[in-house]
Amino acid sequence: MSKPNQTLGEFIIENQTSFKYTSGELSRLLNSIRLAAKVVNHEVNKAGLVDIIGNAGDTNIQGEDQQKLDVYANEKFIQTLTKRNIVCGIASEEEDDFIAINSQDENNQNKYIVLIDPLDGSSNIDVNVSVGTIFSIYRRVTPLGTPVTLEDFLQKGSAQVAAGYVVYGTSTMLVYTTGDGVNGFTLNPAIGSYYLSHPNMQFPADGNIYSVNEGNYSDFPVGIKKYIKYCQEDEGERPYTSRYIGSLVSDFHRNMIKGGIYMYPKSSKNPKGKLRLLYECNPMAFIAEQANGKASDGFTRIMDIVPTELHERVPFICGSVNMVEKAEEFMRNEE
């Protein structure tokens, strides 16, 4: 139950017993993510004042130019999780391979692995537009005290134990689920604590916002093109409003509160879609489903997809259930 003025720290402790697994380890892990997010938030907030804007000069495994804040956020999250010795493995959008943390040590009884998009929407950093962090938590499937393997990371999204995001927006919010609904906490920067501001978040079943990069329109599958035209038709509640920030976290957050659909379809430039199944789509799909929304690749539930590689990309359609189902109907009809 939510109480007014409840902090995230209090909420995590009070709800610890409702987790499926109650060793306290997951609470400690969530607390570390909360801490790292505060550190990153501090850096994002002063980005125009210190030399942290712009390109870091390297390309990541995704073939993207790394921004300085991509590198900074990646380091902070990995450092925080590693130093506290509370996970046995981490995989990140910014790292070529997964990181095994003392998992060959038989004294390391940590069972959780974390997958992370340390800074989402990095093309928005230089122009002072909201960015975010996305995280996804699983139990390892290989035995404790042995090194983690790729198998621990290539689990279906439906095996997630927890997932969440931080949006560094007009206010900074941390939104997460442990499979028992979705709750949102707003950071009070003067005090440095997150307070429960959005208990039990829910996608409205219908909405009137569609979010897609329409610059890629001519390349989209016919089903998506027809659905976009449907969104624009003057009929009933339509035309819908088009809103696209270009930060998945912010676009998702707005749509969850107001009702809407987010789409990143495949195109000839991105033949498998652009968004990463493990760091972006699965955690957002878990949050969406926990908030009565829906997430699919147009045909299949995102969390049912069996990953075959760490940096796998998939088409992503996510949001208010009736809108996603309508888009799926258009996709099916054009198969």
* Residues annotated within a binding site for substrate: 120-123, 213, 244, 274
What b-and-e string marks burial along 202-232, b requiring 16 or more CB atoms within 10 Å of the CB?
bbbeebbbbbbeeebeeebbebbbbbbebbe
- Enumerate residues 6+ apart whose C-beta is below 8 A from 14: 6
- By CB under 5 A, tell whether 120 contacts Mn ion: yes
Selection from ligand AHG, Mn ion, none that 274 binds (CB < 5 to 8 A by kind) is ligand AHG
Distance of CA 148 to the CA centre of its chain: 23
Least distance between Mn ion and beta carbon 36 (Å): 15
Report the greatest alpha carbon distance in the chain.
Answer: 64
Least distance between ligand AHG and beta carbon 275 (Å): 6
* Rama region for 76: left / alpha / beta (φ>0; ψ in -120 to 50; rest): alpha
- By CB under 6 A, tell whether 207 contacts ligand AHG: no
User: Which one of the spans 45-53, 95-103, 220-228, 246-254 is the region binding ligand AHG (CB under 6 A)?
Assistant: 246-254
Q: Which residue has the tokens 């208010």?
A: 320
User: Which one of the spans 119-127, 137-145, 308-316, 318-326 is the region binding Mn ion (CB under 5 A)?
Assistant: 119-127
Q: Tell me whether residue 116 or residue 305 sits nearer to ligand AHG (CB atom).
A: 116
- Enumerate residues 6+ apart whose C-beta is below 8 A from 122: 64, 67, 69, 70, 131
- Enumerate residues 6+ apart whose C-beta is below 8 A from 198: 173, 175, 183, 184, 185, 186, 257
- Cα separation, 113 vs 140, in Å, equals 6
- By CB under 6 A, tell whether 120 contacts ligand AHG: yes
Q: Tell me whether residue 90 or residue 119 sits nearer to Mn ion (CB atom).
A: 119
SS3 158: helix
Q: Tell me whether residue 79 or residue 123 sits nearer to ligand AHG (CB atom).
A: 123
Selection from Mn ion, ligand AHG, none that 246 binds (CB < 5 to 8 A by kind) is ligand AHG
Q: Are strands 260-264 and 65-67 parallel, antiparallel or unpaired?
A: unpaired
Tokens standing for residue 229: 């035209």
- By CB under 6 A, tell whether 312 contacts ligand AHG: no
Q: Tell me whether residue 60 or residue 80 sits nearer to ligand AHG (CB atom).
A: 60
Selection from ligand AHG, Mn ion, none that 239 binds (CB < 5 to 8 A by kind) is none
Q: Tell me whether residue 4 or residue 63 sits nearer to ligand AHG (CB atom).
A: 63
Q: Tell me whether residue 122 or residue 172 sits nearer to ligand AHG (CB atom).
A: 122
Pattern 49-88, ligand AHG, x by CB under 6 A:
---------------x------------------------
- Cα separation, 260 vs 55, in Å, equals 32
- By CB under 6 A, tell whether 247 contacts ligand AHG: yes
Query: Which member of 15, 102, 149, 213 binds ligand AHG (CB under 6 A)?
Result: 213
> Could you tell me which of 305, 274, 301, 300 has the C-alpha nearest to residue 289?
301
Q: Which residues are annotated as a binding site?
A: 93, 117, 119-123, 213, 244, 274, 280
Compute CA distances 44 → 128, 279, 294, 298, whole Å.
9, 20, 30, 34
Query: Which member of 163, 248, 263, 303 binds ligand AHG (CB under 6 A)?
Result: 248
Least distance between Mn ion and beta carbon 117 (Å): 4
| Interacting residues with Mn ion (CB under 5 A) | 64, 93, 117, 119-120
| Interacting residues with ligand AHG (CB under 6 A) | 64, 93, 117, 120-123, 213, 246-248, 274
